[in-house]
């Protein structure tokens, strides 16, 4: 047997072993979610014009979602943050996701919430060009969470809305508790944390996490 064939067999065996090891240890990809906004149709039109549609720039890790070409400013009593990303497609309600550090710099009360739950959340001003609007109950700090498919959930022996802890496998490892599991056939396996959390564990590209419980 020639050397190239032997090398190929060894590489395949090692790859399979690593894959099995990751499955056994419940290893998942982790990415930081920067401050961003989900806009409802009404607010898209108020900011950008009647009949306006968001322009996709690139796809995100979750299927069907995209970063748009459009950017907005977000404002509070103490300050303004410019060029905030707008994610598509449009949602039924506008939601502004920021970190605790952002909330302090803006001077607003943004409570910790599961994404999609803006009840009794922070009021915030949003603008694009000369158009500005106050959005009531829109600003939140998104709870850290893991997206996974039903197949992933079965493999990890988890179910939708389970709460787990995750060890971040970086050069500054930390354990995040109270991590929400979200299961949907349209999801792609990924853990999302905000930039405060990413900085705390020195997150870098391709950093992974281990589900502990």
CA dist list (Å): 213 to 19, 153, 154: 20, 13, 14
Q: How confident is the model at residue 213 (pLDDT cuts 50, 70, 90)?
A: confident
- Residue partners of 87: CB distance under 8 A and separation at least 6: 36, 37, 38, 60, 65, 66, 67, 68
Average confidence (pLDDT) over 7-26: 60
| CATH ID of 27-32+144-211, from 2.40.40.20, 1.10.540.10, 1.10.3720.10, 3.40.50.1480 | 2.40.40.20
Q: Could you give the CA distance from residue 111 to residue 181 in angstroms, rounded to a whole number?
A: 20
**Which residues is 66 bridged to in the sheet?**
59, 88
- The answer to whether residue 110 scores a pLDDT higher than 80 is yes
Q: Could you give the CA distance from residue 155 to residue 55 in angstroms, rounded to a whole number?
A: 37
Q: Could you give the CA distance from residue 44 to residue 179 in angstroms, rounded to a whole number?
A: 31
Q: Could you give the CA distance from residue 128 to residue 109 in angstroms, rounded to a whole number?
A: 22
DSSP helix, strand, coil percent of the chain (3-state; round to 5): 25, 40, 35
Mean predicted lDDT score pLDDT of the chain: 92
CA dist list (Å): 160 to 51, 64, 94, 151, 180: 37, 20, 24, 12, 8
CA dist list (Å): 198 to 62, 146, 183: 19, 15, 23
Q: What are the domain boundaries of the chain? A: 27-32+144-211, 36-142
Q: Which of 104, 109, 106 is nearest to 122 (CA)?
A: 109
Q: How many CA atoms lie within 13 A of 21 on its CB side?
A: 6
Q: Could you give the CA distance from residue 155 to residue 123 in angstroms, rounded to a whole number?
A: 40
Average confidence (pLDDT) over 78-90: 98
CA dist list (Å): 211 to 22, 99, 201: 11, 23, 16
Residue 16's pLDDT is what?
58
Residue 25's pLDDT is what?
81
Q: Residue 206 has which token pair?
A: 């391709």
Average confidence (pLDDT) over 109-133: 96
Tell me the pLDDT tens digit for each residue of 129-183. Answer: 999 999 999 999 999 999 999 999 999 999 999 999 999 999 999 999 999 999 9
Tell me the pLDDT tens digit for each residue of 25-50. Answer: 899 999 999 999 999 999 999 999 99
């Amino acid at each position: 047997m020639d050397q190239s064939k032997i090398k190929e067999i060894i590489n395949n065996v090692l790859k399979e072993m690593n894959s099995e090891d990751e499955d056994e240890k419940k290893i998942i990809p982790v990415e930081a979610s920067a401050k961003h906004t989900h806009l409802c149709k009404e607010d898209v039109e108020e900011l950008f014009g009647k009949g306006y549609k968001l322009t996709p720039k690139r796809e995100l890790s979750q299927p069907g979602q995209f970063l748009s070409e459009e950017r907005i400013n977000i404002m509070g009593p103490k300050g303004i943050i410019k060029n905030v990303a707008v994610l598509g497609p449009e949602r039924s309600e506008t939601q502004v996701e920021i970190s605790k550090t952002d909330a302090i710099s803006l001077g607003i009360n943004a409570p910790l919430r599961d994404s999609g739950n803006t009840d009794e959340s922070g009021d915030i001003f949003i603008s694009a060009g000369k158009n500005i609007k106050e959005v009531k109950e829109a600003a939140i700090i998104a709870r850290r969470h893991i997206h996974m498919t039903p197949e992933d959930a079965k493999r990890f022996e988890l179910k939708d809305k389970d709460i787990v802890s995750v060890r971040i496998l970086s050069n500054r490892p930390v354990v995040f508790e109270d991590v929400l599991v979200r299961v949907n056939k349209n999801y792609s396996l990924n853990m999302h944390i905000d930039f405060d959390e990413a900085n705390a564990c020195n997150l870098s590209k391709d950093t992974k996490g281990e589900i502990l419980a």
